[in-house]
Amino acid sequence: MKEYAITENHLFVKAYSSQNRYVTPRISVYILKDLKARRLMTENPLKQYINRIGFSATPKLGNAVVRNRCKRIMRAAYRKVNSEMPLKKGYLIVISARSGAVGSCSAVIYSDLCKAFGHLGLIRTENN
C-alpha cells in the first residue's frame, strides 16, 4: 500500500506536542489520531483508513547526506513493519531520528519501531 506523507508543518508540531510518544536512543515515535482520516478514506480508491507518516532528521545529526540516509533507513524499516504487522489505521505517525541513528542499520531501526508500535498500542489484534 502506498505511503501517505505528512506535508504540513502544523501536523508535525501537533504530533510533537502529543503525549503519545516512545523514545529510544536511535528514534522517537510520535502518534496522533488523524482528524481527516474519514475524508481521506472516502477519497481513497480502496475505501480504507490510512496512516499518514512523516520522517524528520535535525541538522544536529550531520550534513544533508547523513540526514537523508537516516530518513531512508527509517522509511525502509517502516515499510517492513507495515508489511509484516497489522497496524491500526487512522493515525498520524512521526518518526524522528536521534543521534544514535547515524551509524545504525535498518534491522536495528526495525526492532526499535516494533517496540515503539507495541508500546503505543498501534499493533492491531484480531478483535481490533
Question: pLDDT: is 124 or 120 the higher one?
Answer: 120
pLDDT bin (cut points 50, 70, 90) of residue 3 is: confident
For the stretch 45-77, pLDDT in tens is 888 888 999 999 999 999 999 999 999 999 999
pTM of the model: 0.91
Report if residue 31 sits inside a domain.
yes
CATH number for the domain that contains residue 98: 3.30.230.10
**Tell me, what's the pLDDT at 97?**
97
3-state DSSP assignment of residue 50: coil
Report if residue 128 sits inside a domain.
no
**Mean pLDDT over residues 83-106, rounded?**
93
- Is pLDDT of 11 > 90? yes
Whole domain around residue 33: which residue ranges?
4-120
Given strand 52-56, what is the order of strands in its sheet?
Answer: 4-5, 52-56, 91-97, 27-33, 21-23
